[in-house]
Structure 1
Amino acid sequence: MSLVLSDKRKGSLFGFSHAWDGLKAVVRTEMNFRIHLITAFLVMLAGLFFRLTAVEWIMIFFAIGLVLIAEMLNTAIEKTLDYLKPDLHPQAKLIKDLSAGAVLISALVATVVGLLVFLPEFL
């Protein structure tokens, strides 16, 4: 069975449209993602205030990206499991816990990066 797309949704912008819809959905529905965005904004303001070097900005942007990607993947995994297995199931819980653990690790890594970049500015 083949999927036929309307002419209006064909082409290279088709994937971008879905990606943009996904970003809007996660911002609209996920409080943790919004918290990460606010934190990222504050970190970037601090970076402007302390006039970070290019290397420090690269470290900060990679750390922020890591956390936002992990949070979106965690949300996708949780939504998929809620759809496929709406009843409580030990394996579904384990999968959700593992993906949440990945977000925790990414946030801890980002915190360490932030400390490495900003702590010398305070000392």
Structure 2
Amino acid sequence: MKKQSLPQAFSNAFNGLFFFLRRDRNGRIHLAVSVLVSGAGLYFHVSATEWLFLLACFAMVPCFEMMNYALEQVCDVAHPSYHPLIRIAKDVAAAAVLWSALVSVAIGLVIFIPKTIQLL
């Protein structure tokens, strides 16, 4: 198999990203939340360290969501009908998204609750 060029690899990755955002409701929700939290970060003048934590969250949750989406697609092709092991694989992948989202919410609360209290 011929190795793809670097520009082709980037093109394929961006195609995957845009496909994911067009097809996956949860991916769009995560993107919207990231935009809203970015606005809050600008409004509250979060520190560089706080931005690093927020950026890590902005990367972590959508990445897990993309992997979950990809795994679901592969599972559906490999075994279109119900299978208990496929269900477990899908549930565990969804749990990874949930866990990353919960940790991200906790990080957001640690950053924004004190700033909100100071505002009041």
Task: Confirm or deny a common fold (TM above 0.5).
Answer: yes
Aligned-pair identity in percent equals 38
Correspondence for 2:63: 69
Query: Residue 113 of structure 1 aligns with which residue?
Result: 107
Alignment match, 1:81: 75
3-state SS of paired residue (1:86): coil
RMSD: 1.0
1:29-108 matched pairs, under 5 angstroms: 29-108=23-102
Shift of 1:4: 4.4
TM-score (norm 1): 0.92
Structure-2 separation of matches of 1:4 and 1:98: 34
1:112 alignment partner AA? A
CA gap 1:66/1:4 in 2 versus in 1, 3 angstroms: closer
Name the CA distance, whole Å, in 1 between partners of 2:93 and 2:5.
32
Q: Runs of 4+ in structure 1 displaced over 4 angstroms?
A: none
In structure 1, stretches of 5+ residues that fail to align are none
Task: Give the secondary-structure state (helix, strand or coil) at the position aligned to 1:88.
Answer: coil
Q: Which amino acid aligns with 1:42?
A: L
